[in-house]
Structure 1
Amino acid sequence: MSLRSTVDFLLYQWLDAEALNQRARFADHSRETFDAVLDTCERIAREKYAPFNRLVDTQEPHFDGERVILPQATHDAHKAYAESGMLSAAQDFEMGGMQLPYTIEAAANSFFACASVSIGSGMLTTGNANLLMVHGTPLQQEVFAKNEFSGRFSGTMCLSEPQAGSSLSDVLTRAVPDGDGFETDPLGARYRLKGNKMWISAGEHELTENIIHLVLAKIPGPDGKLIAGTRGISLFIVPKKLVDAAGALTGERNDVALAGLNHKLGWRGTTNTLLNFGEGKYPVLSTGGGLDGSGAGAVGYLVGQPGEGLRCMFHMMNEARIGVGIAATMLGMAGYYASLDYARNRPQGRPVGTGGKDASRPQVRIIEHADVKRMLLAQKSYCEGALALELYCARLVDEQHTGDAQAADKARLLLEVLTPIAKSWPSEWCLEANSLAIQIHGGYGYTRDFPVEQYWRDNRLNMIHEGTHGIQAMDLLGRKVLMENGRGLALLAERIGATIARANAVPELSAHADALTQALRQVQDATQAAWSTGTPGDALANAVPYMQAFGHTVLAWIWLEVALAALTMDATQSIASTAGRIRATSYFYRYELPKIGAWLNVVVSRDQTCAEMPEDAF
């Protein structure tokens, strides 16, 4: 079963994406235009990305003292991606966009992630520009966002600092008004920034004319001291090269300097940087004089209101978390397809119980061994299930933006609850799929002669960036399932209950419906038990096991939805593909869903084994 056939099934047989063109925003679209976008992206991914996945892994970005050098293949891929229109796919026609549903945009981008996530596409640039379309001024949208959508500029998000990774309340980057006329600049209130940012993907390169950094920094209070906590954080546009109010480059370099390239386990084709803002390497004298009147400090333009930077940035971060989930999913899928092909062609061993020790008998292909089938089924259930989850979340985004008021509010609530799962679940379990792909290849999988070791290395990042696993777990149990008096969790339970009711009427699925009923009840009971003392320390000590159980329950629900759609297939779906989806559903329910009991036991008992471990006992 090809990736395209899987995508088509999920979009059209399950999510009814074609019906979106009945909405005013998407009225110019049809199944034909959706398919044309998918065709284009699939072709570009096949021609410009996939053949160079190994090349960009071995030819890492390097700094020659003046520029960051990337392989020509990366430049060609970026150019093809920008010319496809995908950077502005969901934007208004007036902004040069296609007004494409996010559901289709997410599906189309999956081809690039599968072909070469290391080359990268436009996730950060699009997210950066989308943030400005919500929180920026009209001129900021015209000068910065529009040029990002066209591919002329690219974008980053600058949050972490060397001393403050995930703890954003501890950022130390400062921003002070740039002279007496700082509020009169047409591009926005103008500040000078000084500080350091770490782990900035695509922070320095020559792929575009300019790089637009979105930077979190603190404006000092009247006493000159930084305000403690997140309420002091503001958001700034800090371009690599200064521009005028028409978007033309002024010819002056902003005081943003590359301090170093990070050399990574995976994603080696993408630059990851340490950036120094306002260190004086590129002093800017043409504005208000800088922090000390000498031109020191990077020029930045305020986005939104002072002190609301984190609220603005979360617009980009939440979008990025679905993008990370898709990347993790597709790396898992790439490994699955590689190991499936290997298993179908690699002869080794003989059937158990039928003369297996008779060396005169011909060997069988390893796909005929039960344990290899187990590993392939596990990968299939993880990766295809994760893809279904990501596209379901993308469909919720469209519902939130174009549905009626009630439907939009429900989509918002479901997204709040599901976003931590959309990011974390594929990053854990599709990484496990990559590990299984290596195992199927045996010793060959541990060599660079086959691609599966790179897929694992590339995927290992996804449990870390855009909010680590532990942070996603605390967000889920500490905030999302409690917010609005538990409305989001109740709504998810209602949706799961509706699926259970439908599945109960299908003999092949009724046992799965019963298992899902029990799993949902266990999660609900564990949520109450975790918070029964009202003490966050008691509840959150086992937030990750809770998230693992919650995620497996959500994926069991998704697989039951997929199975129901498969059993009501039309003539476009083959019998084999339907059987594959039903078997993958059965695998998940029999091998995976039972794991939640062990995870939830420590949640229900509020076990403190980990929390109370004395440091010196390690």
Structure 2
Amino acid sequence: MRALVDFLLRDWLHADTLTERPRFADHSLETFAQVLDTCERIAREKYAPFNRLVDTEEPRFDGEKVILPQATHDAVKAYAASGMLSAAQDYEHGGMQLPYTVEAAANAFFAKASVSIGTGMLTTGNANLLMKHGTELQKTVFALNEFSGRWSGTMCLSEPQAGSSLSDVATKAVPDGDDFEAEPFGARYRLTGNKMWISAGEHELNENIIHLVLAKIPGPDGKLVPGTRGISLFIVPKKLVDAQGRLTGERNDVALAGLNHKCGWRGTTNTLLNFGEGRFPVRGGPGAIGYLVGRAGEGLRCMFHMMNEARIGVGMAATMLGMAGYEASLAYARQRPQGRPITEGGKDAAEPQVPIIEHADVKRMLLAQKAYCEGALALELYCARLVDESHTGTPEAAAEASLLLEVLTPIAKSWPSEWCLEANSLAIQVHGGYGYTRDFPVEQYWRDNRLNMIHEGTHGIQALDLLGRKVVMQGGAGLKLLATRVGETIQRAGQVQGLAEPANGLAAALQQLGAATKSAWATGVPEEALANATPYLQAFGHVVLAWIWLELGLAAKQAAPATDEQAARNAGLLAAMRYFHVYELPKIGAWLAVVSQREAVCREMQDSWF
């Protein structure tokens, strides 16, 4: 995988050009390589050997604390010591001022080694949000202690009765006394309510846990405002701290109500938390103490800054789980003898068996995995490159990058979550019956990956976001920009031998996607347009990945190989590109047909008919 990462960063994304910008001027391809080397080593030594252990030794609560294997403690400590929690932060904040492109590539090694142990993605996202929306003291005390690894962070959105429907959030925050605005950390509130599906919500891996909690502030009549209006964001530490970041010795009223026992990702605690239930009463009144982040009523705006980062992280996790399964099934196929080649005269039982990788159908399954996983990795790193462009590019380039990232984020989260899961299923199939046993790791990869279609916005929510908001915002400006970028690739590829045919196929697919988008909204009735949002998401994602693969095909054609390994790499990339365009891209026809027709069967189906 390292060779592929190097190719993507160097030959395709040209990460070296980032060092020409003032923020990254101290870096070079050599320093980027050192970061990748360090992370690859830590992942190999502290994560990979314990991936099965953390799956079988699930977190448990002994009545006082959550117990995790020592290997998890060691891995989290090693990750924090590497500096990766604050990799992209300013030097003055203890960071490396590393491009997010390189940070994302480096974190990929950990996701592949053991996604279940984790890398502190939520902690980094939590701290990044505070650096953008918090007060100076909130940044200094909470964010910087998270970046150092001293404390960890969570994101608390979902509630048992509401799930993904943030309009139905019922957690309540009331001002804590008449002088609630005099608190040095920001306006102080008392929170009561419940939050569900909180990853890393309770553990002993760090000194403190900093929860970012969505809650509603009651109106003048004491009632909660319906809908998302009135939702605010609060810092709710597990243990209370003073203005110097020292623990006061007092526990906040945040209590573990239970651990969720999951299909996969068993190494990460997943919790139901009760806020303000009275188990740990705080002096001064009932409720958990929380500090307002940003302005009242703007909690969702602040939180979505964190969620967009998390969605790219989820896409990368799904990608690397797929990659782990692909590499395992490739190694198995190369050494597993079974069957004989089909020749003109039929099979000769007297001949020795051949490795199953010699069979065309096994090659098909391996090619599909390669196309899904390597294409998804390229997509995630491309989105990471857009993040860097939006932060450090010229004003015009930054604006374009931000707009393009808005459109691609639902794809970056959802496409790997669906198709790298399919890659894991194919990895099991390559192993045959052995793949369905715990003797091989591929069944765990599938279980771990199945979560990614659900968390940080389910597949259906991403689809609604894409068709209902992203492709129509600003008069369709984001979709037009993406079409322009794809068109530029098509034009370049059309002039290269061997790439004209896939370029023409992509041009037709892009036209088909644009026509379906218009047809979906032809009546202007959201209910009609959005009933088939998920097929639209699938088709949109396949068009994007066909574009990414055409880009990789161009890069492979242009990269002069210096070794036999590089020549084989280039040939493999071109074969995967061909596979995706021939086997996968044609699938969009069926998906877009129901979108264009505004097929009503799913919308009109009645409960009693089931």
Query: What TM-score bracket applies, with the shorter chain setting the length?
Result: over 0.9
Correspondent of 1:129 among 103, 127, 130: 127
Structure 2 counterpart of 1:293: none
Q: Which residue of 2 aligns with 1:597?
A: 589
Change (3 A) 1:332 1:166: same
Distance 2:441 2:487 in 1: 41
Q: Provide the residue aligned with 2:486 in structure 1.
A: 496
Give the corresponding residue for 1:150: 148
For the pair 1:616 / 2:608, whether they are aligned, the reply is yes
User: Aligned to 2:266, what secondary structure does the other structure show?
Assistant: coil
Which shifted more, 248-257 or 357-366? Answer: 357-366
| SS at 1:611 equivalent | helix
Aligned-residue offset at 1:232: 1.0
Counting only pairs closer than 5 Å after superposition, residues 146-185 of structure 1 correspond to structure 2 as 146-185=144-183
Seen in structure 2, the aligned counterparts of structure 1 residues 356 and 441 have a Cα distance that, compared at 3 Å, is farther
- Are positions 1:459 and 2:449 aligned together? yes
TM-score (norm. length: structure 2): 0.99
Q: 1:72 and 2:70 equivalent?
A: yes
Q: Tell me, yes or no, if the aligned pair for 2:58 and 2:267 is still in contact at 8 Å.
A: yes
Once residues 281 and 337 of structure 1 are traced to their aligned partners in structure 2, the CA distance between those partners, rounded to angstroms, is 48
- Report how far residue 356 of structure 1 moved: 5.0
Q: Which amino acid aligns with 1:380?
A: K
Query: 1:354: Cα distance to partner?
Result: 5.5
Residue 353 of structure 1 and its aligned partner are, at CA, apart by 2.2
Residue deviations 1:145-202 (CA, integer Å, cap 9, x gap):
0000000000000000000110001010000011111111101100000000000000
Shift of the alpha carbon at 1:572?
Answer: 4.8
Please tell me whether the aligned partners of residues 349 and 356 of structure 1 are also in contact (alpha carbons under 8 angstroms): no
Cα distance, 1:231 vs. partner? 1.3
Q: Determine if the alignment matches structure 1 residue 552 to structure 2 residue 542.
A: yes
2:253 to 248, 252, 255: 255
Q: Give the Cα–Cα distance (whole angstroms) in 2 for the partners of residues 207 and 175 of structure 1.
A: 28
- Separation of aligned partners in 1, 2:204 and 2:73: 9
- In the aligned structure 1, how far is the partner of 2:561 from the partner of 2:241? 56
Following TM superposition, by how much is the alpha carbon of 1:355 offset from its aligned partner in structure 2, in angstroms?
5.7
- Amino acid paired to 2:496: V
Structure 1: gaps spanning 5 or more residues: 291-295
List per-residue Cα deviations over 1:37-59 (Å, max 9, x = no partner): 00000000000000000000000
Letter in 1 for 2:425: S
Give me the whole-angstrom Cα distance separating, in 1, the residues matched to 2:497 and 2:552: 16
2:373 maps to: 383
Report 1:397-408 matches (<5 A): 397-408=387-398
Partner of 2:342: 352
Q: Which moved more, 1:564-573 or 1:46-55?
A: 564-573
Counterpart-to-counterpart distance in 2, 1:357 and 1:133: 66
Residue 256 (structure 2) pairs with residue 266 (structure 1): no
Q: CA deviation at 1:565?
A: 0.4
Q: One-letter code of the match for 1:85?
A: G
After superposition, give the CA deviation of every residue in 1:78-97 in whole Å (9 maximum; x if it has no partner): 00000000000000001000
SS in 2 for 1:29: coil
CA displacement at 1:519 relative to structure 2: 0.2
Question: 1:562-594 deviations in whole A, cap 9, x for unaligned?
Answer: 010011113456110000000000000000000
Q: Name which of 567, 571, 590 aligns with 1:575.
A: 567
Q: Secondary structure at the match of 1:196?
A: strand
CA–CA distance in structure 2, aligned partners of residues 458 and 354 of structure 1: 43
Q: What is the letter of the counterpart of residue 221 of structure 2?
A: D
Amino acid at match of 1:606: R
- What is the aligned partner in structure 1 of residue 440 from structure 2? 450
Render the CA deviation track for 1:95-140: whole Å, top value 9, x for unaligned.
0000000000000000000000011111000000000000000000
- Paired residues for 1:297-446 under 5 Å: 297-353=287-343, 356-446=346-436
Q: Is 2:475 the partner of 1:475? A: no
Look up the match of 1:199: 197
| Separation of aligned partners in 2, 1:203 and 1:188 | 23
Match of 2:576 among 580, 584, 603: 584
The one-letter code matched in structure 2 to 1:173 is T
Q: Deviations over 1:192-232 (max 9, x none)?
A: 00000000000000000000000000000010000111111
**Aligned 8 A contact 2:463 2:534 in 1:** yes
Look up the equivalent residue of 2:559 and give its one-letter code. M
Counterpart-to-counterpart distance in 1, 2:271 and 2:395: 42
Q: Secondary structure at the match of 1:183?
A: helix
Deviation at 1:477, TM superposition (A): 0.3
Please report how far the alpha carbon of residue 498 of structure 1 lies from its aligned counterpart in structure 2 after TM superposition: 0.3
Tell whether the 8 Å contact from 1:169 to 1:228 is kept in structure 2 after alignment: yes
Note the 1:6-155 alignment, pairs <5 A: 6-155=4-153
**2:561–2:567 contact (8 Å) kept in structure 1:** no
Q: TM-score of the superposition, structure 1-length normalised?
A: 0.98
SS in 2 for 1:267: coil
* Whole-angstrom distance in 2 between the partners of 1:12 and 1:228: 50
Q: Distance in 1 between matches of 2:457 and 2:562?
A: 40
In structure 2, what is the Cα distance between the partners aligned to 1:253 and 1:582?
58
C-alpha separation between the residues in 2 aligned to 1:570 and 1:108?
A: 25
Distance 1:576 1:358 in 2: 31
Residue 601 of structure 2 aligns to which amino acid in structure 1?
Answer: T
SS at structure 1 position matched to 2:103: helix
Distance of 2:228 and 2:562 partners within structure 1? 52
DSSP 3-state at the match of 1:76: helix
Q: Are the equivalent residues in 2 in contact too, given 1:350–1:356 (CA < 8 A)?
A: no
Measured in 1, the distance between the counterparts of 2:136 and 2:124 equals: 17
Displacement of 1:361: 1.2
Question: Taking structure 1 as reference, are residues 197 and 355 closer, same or farther at Cα in structure 2, changes over 3 Å only?
Answer: same
* Separation in structure 1 between the aligned mates of residue 461 and residue 342 of structure 2, nearest angstrom: 46
CA deviation map 1:285-331 (0-9, x unaligned)? 0xxx22xxxxx200000000000000000000000000000000000
Give the Cα–Cα distance (whole angstroms) in 1 for the partners of residues 351 and 502 of structure 2.
41
Offset at residue 550 of structure 1 (A): 0.4
Equivalent-residue separation in structure 2 for 1:469 and 1:62 (angstroms): 30
State the one-letter code of the partner of 1:385: G
- In structure 1, what is the Cα distance between the partners aligned to 2:468 and 2:156? 26
- Identity over aligned residues, as a percent? 78
**Counterpart amino acid of residue 230 in structure 1:** T
Contact kept in structure 2, 1:504 and 1:513, CA below 8 Å: yes
**One-letter amino acid of the structure 2 residue matched with residue 418 of structure 1:** L
Question: What displacement does 1:357 show?
Answer: 3.9
Whole-angstrom distance in 1 between the partners of 2:152 and 2:452: 22
Local SS of the residue matching 1:425:
helix
Aligned length: 608
